Amino acid sequence: MADDRITTKLAALPRDATYFSLEFFPPKTSQGFSNLHARLARMAHSLRPLFVNVTWGAGGSTSAKSLALAELTQRSLGLTTCLHLTCTNMSRKLIDEALEQAKVLGVRNILALRGDPPRSDEYRAEGAAVGEDEDDSNVEFTWAVDLVKYIKKTYGDYFCVGVAGYPEGHADTSHPEHQGVGLDLPYLVEKTSAGADFIMTQLFYDVDAFLAYETTLREHDSGIFKEIPIIPGLMPVQSYQILRRTTKLSHAKIPPNVLKRFEAVKSDDEAVKRVGVDVLSEFVDKIKARPDVRPRGFHFYTLNLEKAVAHILERSSLIPPYTPTIIEKNGFTSPEDAITENESSTSAPTNGHATRTRRESSTANSGPRNRVVVSRTRASSTSSTRTSAFEAPEDEAGVPRDKINSRANTLAISEGEGALGREATWDDFPNGRWGDARSPAYGEIDGYGVSLHVSIAEATRLWGHPSSTADLSEIFRRHLEGAVDAVPWSEEGLSPETLTIKPQLLALVQKGWWTVASQPAVNGVRSTDPIFGWGPRNGFVFQKPFVEFFLPAQDWKRLQPILDEDPQITYFASNAAGDSAASDEESVNPVTWGCFTGKEIVTPTIIEGVSFRAWCEEAFGIWGEWRGVYGKGSPSSKVLDQVQPEALWETLVKA
Question: What is the DSSP annotation of 348-378?
Answer: PP-TTHHHHHHHHS-----SSS--EEE-HHH
The pLDDT-based confidence of 375 (bands split at 50, 70, 90) is low
Per-residue b or e along 384-404, where b marks 16 or more CB atoms closer than 10 Å to that residue's CB: eeeeeeeebbebbeebbeebb
Residues 30-73: pLDDT tens digits? Answer: 888 999 999 999 999 999 999 999 998 766 668 889 999 999 99
User: Taking residues 585-606, what's their average pLDDT?
Assistant: 87
Distance CA 182, CA 167 (A): 10
Does position 434 have pLDDT exceeding 70, yes or no? no
User: Taking residues 186-207, what's their average pLDDT?
Assistant: 96
How distant, in Å, are the alpha carbons of 48, 461, 580 from that of 203?
22, 26, 39
Other C-beta atoms lying within 10 Å of the C-beta of residue 584: 12
pTM of the shown model: 0.77
23 is annotated as an active-site residue: yes
Does position 351 have pLDDT exceeding 60, yes or no? no
DSSP class of residue 545 equals -
pLDDT at 315: 94
Catalytic residue among 23, 122, 314, 548: 23
Residues 148-181: pLDDT tens digits? Answer: 999 999 999 999 999 999 999 876 654 455 678 8
